[in-house]
A and B are shown apart, each in its own frame.
Chain A
Amino acid sequence: MHKDHAIHVENLTKMFGDFTAVNNISFQVDKGEVFGFLGANGAGKTTAIKMLIGISRPTSGKANVAGYDVKSETEMVKKSIGYMSQKFSLYNDLTIKENITFFGGIYGLKKSVIKEKTQRLIDELGLNDVADKPVSSLPLGWKQKVAFSVSLLHDPKIIFLDEPTGGVDPITRRQFWNMIYREAHKGKTIFVTTHYMDEAEYCDRVSIMVEGKIEALDTPKNLKAQYKVDSMNKVFLKLARNIE
């Protein structure tokens, strides 16, 4: 196994009956990299991500996350990663503080650590006034920022973000990406799926999945050069059309 790779995937396949959702994909993600995982709806992104975070079992192939095998060392994988899902992942009827305490608790953090981290997080995001209000009263953009911070509570090496900015306004999206960069600078590996093509440009490297296969994988710059277009959006459209 390559110790310098945060994620190492070899011939990973997932079948549902006769349907091949993920078809023999292989790729590596370096430590500290911001890796964009793109694809149209139904291309197999979510299935692939579920295998990597250990909640779906691969039909065949190998995946190594943070140095642990997703099939045999699932528990260690889970401890080493943070995850923020496509759907909103905080509890609306709990306050911000209660949410943080809860998620810190299920990752086994000590009470004193949770307390300290909660305060720091609330200060950083400027949420002092609303810390004791139910999450449901917050605007979506703020919720997503809190959710992202919560996924970082246990100091994971790799963070999986499944469409983290869906439905969020452009300004908040920009702020959100600043948060992502800050974590990447700290040496964390970011694995992010999105369908906003402008966001693809922010990634160090992107892979594009079409019908269960990875059809392209390179830096945004190289991909644009390769397909002779000026934006990731056009790369994506070209790829999708070629397959059809």
Chain B
Amino acid sequence: MKRFIGFIKKEFYHISRDKRSLFILFGMPIVQVLLFGFAITNEINKVDIAILDHSKDATTKEIINRIAASKYFSIKQFIHHETAIESAFKKGEVKAVLNFEKDFGKKMVTEDQATVQILADATDPNTANTISNYIRSILQTYTAEVNKNIQLAYQIEPKTHLAYNPTLKSVYMFVPGVMTVILMLVSAMMTSISITREKELGTMEVLLVSPLKPIQVIVGKVVPYVFLSIINAIIIVVLGIFVFQMPIQGNLFLLAAESVLFIINALSLGILISTIAATQQTAMMVSLMGLMLPVILLSGFIFPVSSMPTILQIISNIVPAKWFIIIIKGIMLKGVGLAYVWKETLILLGMTLFFIALSVKKYKIRLE
């Protein structure tokens, strides 16, 4: 045991003296959470739009005022001819144009129907979609108000309730996602690099010749990263709570326990990588390509798994991060207990045991 503590102390020396890994360890989570939380967002805010008003009557004026008053849009310019629409888009001055037809107000009264065209710049499809939805909703509200005194025979009025994230804050989605990415990165990449470093420098041989057992060497390399990963998870959750006012609905102990399970899963993957990779470079490439990309793309972190092609949906099942994201989203946002995520937990546990068994087997072969 004393030998083991000495070994762990040595690992902390390595980590604390390597400025680059220190930055990866503690800079990355903070930078990523802030970046995803503030910069990358699906919400729209003060989007520049242009108005092409062929009618210029009281009704269009009222609608334009409402749009201008909302916090989502700012009216950048009024254009006077269809030909100007394209140039406004091309210059990138506006993201959308509202084109009111001639005699808009009059038609509304006399024909019960008037048309306004929404043109959105779909080079960014998500934003275009959001913009047109927001404008539509403003128009609907207006129509409803105008029709207030008229009794329609039949009317369906949908009442939407957005559960667990009523204001649709994207940071609610990013905090669990970033936590998953960071834990995977720190645990798997850093351990695989730190083990292959010993192999590369030849010190691994010296360790194996010593009375330390191979399992002690591996566990000793892994333990510091378990601590650091836990600290990272705490940093991310604290940032989420205090900087982004993200509520944690569920049990913190369950959250912690699931995180530790995922950390161990990632660590065992890191060990597995280090048994195949001979150099630090290879270990890093394998971790980045083999782990980071699936974690970011296939886990449901950014792109919902349910809207992927079937083949990718099937592949996503072998990405541990997918299951972890389901678990922590459930705990953080829905406040569910183990009763709701036991299946995912079991899958994660199974994967972890499998990776550990595999790396133990691989490790033995290497010693032959």
Decide if B6 touches A83 in the complex (CB within 8 Å). Answer: no
A105-B2 in contact given A56-B368, A81-B209 (Cβ < 8 Å): yes
> A64-93: contact bitstring with B at CB < 8 Å (1 yes, 0 no)?
000000000001001101011111111111
Q: Given the complex, which residues of A lie within 8 Å of B202, measured CB to CB?
A: 85-89
Cα separation A80 to B236 with both chains bound (whole Å): 48
In the complex formed, the residue of B with least CB distance to A81 is B209
Decide if B6 touches A57 in the complex (CB within 8 Å). Answer: no
Q: Find residues 197-228 in chain B having any chain A CB closer than 8 Å to their own CB.
A: 201-203, 205-212
Decide if A55 touches B211 in the complex (CB within 8 Å). Answer: no
Decide if A107 touches B10 in the complex (CB within 8 Å). Answer: no
Q: Given the complex, which residues of A lie within 8 Å of B18, measured CB to CB?
A: 93
Decide if B210 touches A56 in the complex (CB within 8 Å). Answer: no
Q: Find residues 1-52 in chain B having any chain A CB closer than 8 Å to their own CB.
A: 2-3, 6-7, 9-10, 13-14, 17-18
Q: Given the complex, which residues of A lie within 8 Å of B208, measured CB to CB?
A: 55
In the complex formed, the residue of B with least CB distance to A78 is B211
Cα separation A51 to B326 with both chains bound (whole Å): 49
Q: Given the complex, which residues of B lie within 8 Å of A56, measured CB to CB?
A: 367-368
Q: Find residues 143-202 in chain A having any chain B CB closer than 8 Å to their own CB.
A: none
Report the count of interface residues on B (CB-CB < 8 A).
23
Cα separation A57 to B14 with both chains bound (whole Å): 31
Q: Given the complex, which residues of A lie within 8 Å of B2, measured CB to CB?
A: 105, 108
Q: Given the complex, which residues of A lie within 8 Å of B367, measured CB to CB?
A: 55-57
Cα separation A134 to B17 with both chains bound (whole Å): 10
A89-B206 in contact given A94-B10, A102-B6 (Cβ < 8 Å): yes
A53 at the interface (CB under 8 A from B): yes
Q: Given the complex, which residues of A lie within 8 Å of B6, measured CB to CB?
A: 101-102, 105-106
Decide if A107 touches B210 in the complex (CB within 8 Å). Answer: yes
> B69-103: contact bitstring with A at CB < 8 Å (1 yes, 0 no)?
00000000000000000000000000000000000
A106-B209 in contact given A86-B202, A93-B18 (Cβ < 8 Å): no
In the complex formed, the residue of A with least CB distance to B212 is A106
Q: Report the minimum CB–CB distance from B233 to chain A (whole Å).
A: 27
Q: Given the complex, which residues of A lie within 8 Å of B207, measured CB to CB?
A: 106
Decide if B209 touches A78 in the complex (CB within 8 Å). Answer: yes
A141 at the interface (CB under 8 A from B): no
Decide if B210 touches A55 in the complex (CB within 8 Å). Answer: no
Partner of B201 from A57, A87, A107 at Cβ < 8 Å: A87
Cα separation A79 to B9 with both chains bound (whole Å): 22
Cα separation A87 to B202 with both chains bound (whole Å): 5
Cα separation A98 to B7 with both chains bound (whole Å): 11
Cα separation A39 to B368 with both chains bound (whole Å): 22
Q: Given the complex, which residues of B lie within 8 Å of A98, measured CB to CB?
A: 10, 13
In the complex formed, the residue of B with least CB distance to A82 is B209
A54 at the interface (CB under 8 A from B): yes
Decide if A57 touches B209 in the complex (CB within 8 Å). Answer: no
Q: Report the minimum CB–CB distance from A104 to chain B (whole Å).
A: 8
Q: Report the minimum CB–CB distance from A240 to chain B (whole Å).
A: 27
Decide if B209 touches A55 in the complex (CB within 8 Å). Answer: yes
In the complex formed, the residue of B with least CB distance to A162 is B205
Cα separation A133 to B201 with both chains bound (whole Å): 19
Decide if B203 touches A55 in the complex (CB within 8 Å). Answer: no
Q: Given the complex, which residues of B lie within 8 Å of A91, measured CB to CB?
A: 10, 13-14, 201, 203
Q: Find residues 96-125 in chain A having any chain B CB closer than 8 Å to their own CB.
A: 98, 101-103, 105-108
Q: Given the complex, which residues of A lie within 8 Å of B3, measured CB to CB?
A: 105-108
Q: Given the complex, which residues of B lie within 8 Å of A83, measured CB to CB?
A: 205-206, 209
Decide if B7 touches A57 in the complex (CB within 8 Å). Answer: no
A57-B368 in contact given A83-B209, A93-B13, A106-B6 (Cβ < 8 Å): yes
Decide if A94 touches B13 in the complex (CB within 8 Å). Answer: yes
Q: Report the minimum CB–CB distance from B332 to chain A (whole Å).
A: 38
Q: Given the complex, which residues of B lie within 8 Å of A87, measured CB to CB?
A: 201-203, 205
Q: Given the complex, which residues of A lie within 8 Å of B368, measured CB to CB?
A: 56-57
Q: Find residues 334-368 in chain B having any chain A CB closer than 8 Å to their own CB.
A: 367-368
In the complex formed, the residue of B with least CB distance to A77 is B209
Q: Report the minimum CB–CB distance from B48 to chain A (whole Å).
A: 53
Decide if A78 touches B210 in the complex (CB within 8 Å). Answer: yes
Q: Report the minimum CB–CB distance from A17 to chain B (whole Å).
A: 12
Q: Given the complex, which residues of B lie within 8 Å of A79, measured CB to CB?
A: 211
Q: Given the complex, which residues of B lie within 8 Å of A53, measured CB to CB?
A: 209
Cα separation A75 to B205 with both chains bound (whole Å): 15
A106-B7 in contact given A56-B367, A79-B211 (Cβ < 8 Å): yes
Cα separation A108 to B5 with both chains bound (whole Å): 11
Cα separation A87 to B20 with both chains bound (whole Å): 24
Decide if B10 touches A102 in the complex (CB within 8 Å). Answer: yes
Cα separation A201 to B14 with both chains bound (whole Å): 40
A75-B211 in contact given A105-B2, A105-B6 (Cβ < 8 Å): yes
Q: Given the complex, which residues of B lie within 8 Å of A75, measured CB to CB?
A: 211
**Can you spell out 15 A-B residue pairs with CB atoms less than 8 angstroms apart?**
A54-B209, A56-B368, A57-B367, A75-B211, A84-B206, A86-B202, A87-B202, A88-B202, A94-B14, A98-B10, A98-B13, A102-B9, A106-B3, A106-B207, A106-B211
Add 19 more A-B contacts to A81-B209, A87-B205, A106-B3 (CB < 8 A): A53-B209, A56-B367, A57-B368, A83-B209, A84-B206, A87-B201, A87-B202, A89-B203, A91-B201, A93-B13, A94-B10, A98-B13, A101-B6, A102-B6, A103-B206, A105-B6, A106-B212, A108-B211, A134-B17
Q: Which residues of A contact B (CB under 8 A)?
A: 53-57, 75, 78-79, 81, 83-94, 98, 101-103, 105-108, 134
User: What 3 pairs across the A-B complex have the smallest Cβ distances?
Assistant: A87-B202, A105-B6, A83-B209
